[in-house]
Structure 1
Amino acid sequence: MKIIDPVFLLVFILNVYTVKSLECLCGISEVPVTDPYNIQKLEKDNCEIPENEKKGCVEHGACYGTCQTDGFCFKSIKREDGIIRRIYRCLAKSVLKPEGQPMHCHVHDGVTSSFQLGCCNTTLCDLPLTFSPPTKDSGDQDRLILILSISVPIVTLTLVSLISILIYKQCQPRFGYQVVSRPIQNNVIIDLGNSRSISSQMVDDSQSTLKEMLESTCSGSGAGLPILVQRSIARQVSLLECVGKGRYGEVWKGMWRGGYVAVKIFSSRDEKSWFRESEIYQTVMLRHENILGFIASDNKDEGIMTQLWLVTEFYENGSLYDYLSRHTVSEEQCIRMALSIATGLAHLHMDIIGTQGKPGIAHRDLKSRNILVKRDLSCAIADLGLCVKHNSVTDEVDIPINNKVGTKRYMAPELLNETINEKHFDSWKRADVYSVGLVYWEIVRRCRASSLHQEYQMPFYDVVSPDPSIEEMKEVVCIKRLRPDCPDEWNENEKLKSMVKLMKECWFENPTSRLAILRLKKNCVQILDSCEDVKKMSQILEEQEQEEEENKLMNSDSGLVKS
């Protein structure tokens, strides 16, 4: 049998008696406020009953039980509904946190008029707690809490009701207004619950086509269709196929009123970009044959998310980037493309003063992917989401509030090194001209007149990575001052030589040395006129040669007859 060490036993007994050495009052009592010695309730649950009952008696006449603790004695008093409630109990040392100022022993100043508590560390101690007189601030606070408790639920319910009504109206089809002059017959109702589904329409001869509707509702102001039509167009368009993807979303080919349309679908997180581009496209007097035709903007609820639609004209050839990747162009086509781009940008930059005037607009993201090729191979400028507008009255520049920047490969030197004067509108126009020079280089590279037939490449393809950073472009454009290479073969052709001169005058490092957009347009016209003159001269020479051959034949025939 193992014998217990007497020293260990002595230490254990001392620890037991020293750990719980404080005796405290224990129990709960209730007395009326008007008669503090009339004890109506006294509870001693979970308390020890001392042999001498008077041991636990206190000043107000109640006799409580006791308890042992290694921490503090606790007391609280509370006044409520004309009753004063006292609570005595023990607090263990383990719950007294933080040390030195335990939160169980302190009360907030705002409630001391009806509630008090405290701690003490003497045997059977009874703290003399009293209520503090009520203050004006506490009354004001109570009234504020009451007002908030009533008003907040009412305001919340009102907001929820308004939002529900708006969502209901948004999701329901709109009726009760005439949108075209001709009646619509044999129209198939399109359900776009699944945006990937392909629907169809039967178009009757009496139904307004897309072209007719645009001509009857768009007066050239550039504002697109009437607002009532715009707010329901997402339920009338049939999506056919996805034709492109970008950083803002997807571009779909759609069918609407017997014609093809392009639908640019933004995600809800890009709402600022969608709103800005819709705002720019609806600028008065913006509509131009070399700027993408705007039809409508709308939003469509897809259940888990909201799609933001931008509906525009559709061009089968796609972007200039896509077209040049698949096709080459002749001399005349090359110059006509360059002229149409300069014409569209000149209209975009132009301030039109008047009661229905147009502000000057700079694109800020010109590149071959943001220029579309029409059926006649002329070009139209698209993607106006990053544009800046110029207020000619106040001479202020309206810059969109978003974190998007233009395509780094096409950025002008002053944008890369951040030396551009953002408050000066001409600075933004000159940055656009720099980008146009790079686009011209892409077109000339695919011109069939060049003896060196080259595959399509983007500017700086040979000196930067496929997705260059701003620092990478800054080193190439600003520090090394490199520009796209122009082969000597281009200078052997007079038309291409003129185009090379144009593009080099567009990408000067000093913005003020670059061609103005109107000067650029005029030079393109002159190059095209020279092409027409050469064409006419060649036709005249061909006609003269044909006449000479006919005369020779006639002379030979007459000689045979004489013989």
Structure 2
Amino acid sequence: MASRSPCAARCPRLPPALGLAGLVLVLVAHRGAQALLCLCSDCNQANATCETDGACIVSITNVNGMQHHVRTCIPKGELIPAGKPFFCLSSEDVRNTYCCYKDYCNKIDLMVPRGHQKSDETPSGWGPVELVAVIAGPVFLVFVIMIIVVSVFHHHQRVYHNRQRLDVEDPSCEMCLSKDKTLQDLVYDLSTSGSGSGLPLFVQRTVARTIVLQEIIGKGRFGEVWRGRWRGGDVAVKIFSSREERSWFREAEIYQTVMLRHENILGFIAADNKDNGTWTQLWLVSDYHEHGSLFDYLNRYTVTIEGMIKLALSAASGLAHLHMEIVGTQGKPGIAHRDLKSKNILVKKNGICAIADLGLAVRHDAVTDTIDIAPNQRVGTKR
């Protein structure tokens, strides 16, 4: 007779049905510890659910201006970084997001945050009128500023041109110029009947402001030389920049020395400061000689012996007049040129010379036996 196991005598035997139920409970408990059931709006299952080991998620998105709830499952491996996964954060397209970790916890409906109530609103909350005002305001302000600048510029130009069109034939002014006088007549009358130092200051300014510049004929160390027109005659206009005011003043002062006028010294007409609307120019107006300087004349023409003697004699005559001191009530001091060269001697139409460029000249005062040297200590220029 076979022996029986001790357990068989002590352990009760379970019914088969009860053992099967226990196995099912164990499997269900194992699944519940490993899986999470979530609602899924994009899944193909008939019950619209999905299973995951991560989290359930619900989000509200904007599609073509309409708001849609999206529900799905997120695997555990995609829940990064831990504690605040990217899938659980809102973005530009996803207006609100909620992650949860219980079965079917994503069946709730989310609310759109206050800042995203209207999809067609601008981030600042401005309407079309405010946007137009913000954009058009600065543009309009710049336009107004440009109009003001242009108006001021045209005003200065108009004032400048009005000053140039000074009515020199005003009969109420006794010193104004008569209409039928030419420049040569005026210079001759005033130099022979006056002190020989040139035109009065008022007439100088009248002449200078009615000259029309034609073309530039040369450049020097202090500025440019132009050919101008005044009452049908040509004049030479030496234009100094405002930085060379001392040189302009000195040369004008020397040219207006009493008894300086001589046929072999460049005829001085006027000196004036001109405002062209942008900057100030300093003008020195003198006779115009089309042959230019002696340097250019000798390079351009072949001179005969007679012409050479004529040039040399006239240049020496002009230099002698500069050096000579004239004693009298309106005497002339002796003047040293200090920058005499062929480029500073002009040739007249009749073939005689006229000494020019007296900006570096000095005068000798016989009473005090002194020389009035200008503040500019420069002597001579490059040959």
TM-score (structure 2 length as normaliser): 0.54
- Displaced runs of 4 or more, over 3 A: 171-176, 178-182
In 1, distance between residues paired with 2:309 and 2:176? 40
Q: What is the aligned partner in structure 2 of residue 94 from structure 1?
A: none
Q: What is the aligned partner in structure 2 of residue 400 from structure 1?
A: 374
The question of 1:268 aligning with 2:242 is answered yes
Q: Secondary structure at the match of 1:316?
A: coil
The question of 1:386 aligning with 2:360 is answered yes
In the TM superposition, 1:222-261 aligns within 5 A as 222-261=196-235
Q: What is the aligned partner in structure 1 of residue 346 from structure 2?
A: 372
- 1:301 maps to which of 256, 275, 283: 275
Q: Which structure is higher in helix share?
A: 1
Q: What is the aligned partner in structure 2 of residue 217 from structure 1?
A: 190
In 2, distance between residues paired with 1:214 and 1:257? 13
In the TM superposition, 1:399-418 aligns within 5 A as 399-409=373-383
Q: What is the aligned partner in structure 2 of residue 347 from structure 1?
A: 321
In 2, distance between residues paired with 1:234 and 1:295? 9
The structural deviation recorded for 1:178 is 3.3
Cα distance change, pair 399–255 in 1 and its aligned pair in 2 (3 A): same
Indicate if the aligned counterparts of 1:222 and 1:294 stay in contact, CA closer than 8 A.
no
The structural deviation recorded for 1:181 is 6.9
State the structure with more CA Rg: 2
Indicate if the aligned counterparts of 2:176 and 2:203 stay in contact, CA closer than 8 A.
no
The question of 1:277 aligning with 2:251 is answered yes
**Identity fraction in percent:** 63
Q: What is the aligned partner in structure 2 of residue 178 from structure 1?
A: 174
The structural deviation recorded for 1:180 is 5.9
Q: Which structure is higher in strand share?
A: 2
Indicate if the aligned counterparts of 2:262 and 2:318 stay in contact, CA closer than 8 A.
yes
Per-residue CA deviations over 1:114-168 (Å, capped at 9, x if unaligned) read xxxxxxxxxxxxxxxxxxxxxxxxxxxxxxxxxxxxxxxxxxxxxxxxxxxxxx9
Q: What is the aligned partner in structure 2 of residue 510 from structure 1?
A: none
- AA partner of residue 397 (structure 1): I
The structural deviation recorded for 1:349 is 0.4
Q: Secondary structure at the match of 1:218?
A: helix
- AA partner of residue 256 (structure 2): Q
Q: What is the aligned partner in structure 2 of residue 336 from structure 1?
A: 310
The structural deviation recorded for 1:222 is 3.2
- AA partner of residue 256 (structure 1): W
In 2, distance between residues paired with 1:289 and 1:180? 26
In 2, distance between residues paired with 1:395 and 1:403? 20
Cα distance change, pair 181–265 in 1 and its aligned pair in 2 (3 A): closer
Indicate if the aligned counterparts of 1:180 and 1:208 stay in contact, CA closer than 8 A.
no
In 1, distance between residues paired with 2:282 and 2:327? 32
Q: Secondary structure at the match of 1:264?
A: strand
In 2, distance between residues paired with 1:245 and 1:384? 16
The structural deviation recorded for 1:404 is 3.1
5+ residue gaps, structure 1:
1-167, 185-206, 410-563
Q: What is the aligned partner in structure 2 of residue 511 from structure 1?
A: none
Q: Secondary structure at the match of 1:309?
A: strand
Indicate if the aligned counterparts of 1:299 and 1:308 stay in contact, CA closer than 8 A.
yes
Q: What is the aligned partner in structure 2 of residue 482 from structure 1?
A: none
Q: Secondary structure at the match of 2:244?
A: helix
Indicate if the aligned counterparts of 2:237 and 2:285 stay in contact, CA closer than 8 A.
yes
Question: CA-atom RMSD, angstroms?
Answer: 2.1
Per-residue CA deviations over 1:328-380 (Å, capped at 9, x if unaligned) read 10011111111111100000001111110001000000011100000111000
In 2, distance between residues paired with 1:397 and 1:340? 26
- AA partner of residue 189 (structure 2): S
In 2, distance between residues paired with 1:178 and 1:325? 47
- AA partner of residue 247 (structure 1): R
In 2, distance between residues paired with 1:328 and 1:259? 28
The structural deviation recorded for 1:408 is 4.2
- AA partner of residue 389 (structure 1): R
Q: What is the aligned partner in structure 2 of residue 52 from structure 1?
A: none
The structural deviation recorded for 1:279 is 0.4
Q: Secondary structure at the match of 2:278?
A: coil
In 2, distance between residues paired with 1:376 and 1:253? 19
The structural deviation recorded for 1:235 is 1.9
In 2, distance between residues paired with 1:400 and 1:331? 39
The structural deviation recorded for 1:221 is 3.3
The structural deviation recorded for 1:234 is 2.7
Indicate if the aligned counterparts of 2:177 and 2:203 stay in contact, CA closer than 8 A.
no
Q: What is the aligned partner in structure 1 of residue 301 from structure 2?
A: 327
In 2, distance between residues paired with 1:354 and 1:267? 37
In 1, distance between residues paired with 2:190 and 2:272? 17
Q: Secondary structure at the match of 2:216?
A: strand
- AA partner of residue 186 (structure 2): M
In 2, distance between residues paired with 1:277 and 1:326? 29
In 2, distance between residues paired with 1:313 and 1:221? 19
Indicate if the aligned counterparts of 2:208 and 2:270 stay in contact, CA closer than 8 A.
no
In 2, distance between residues paired with 1:363 and 1:297? 20
The structural deviation recorded for 1:179 is 4.0
Q: What is the aligned partner in structure 2 of residue 556 from structure 1?
A: none
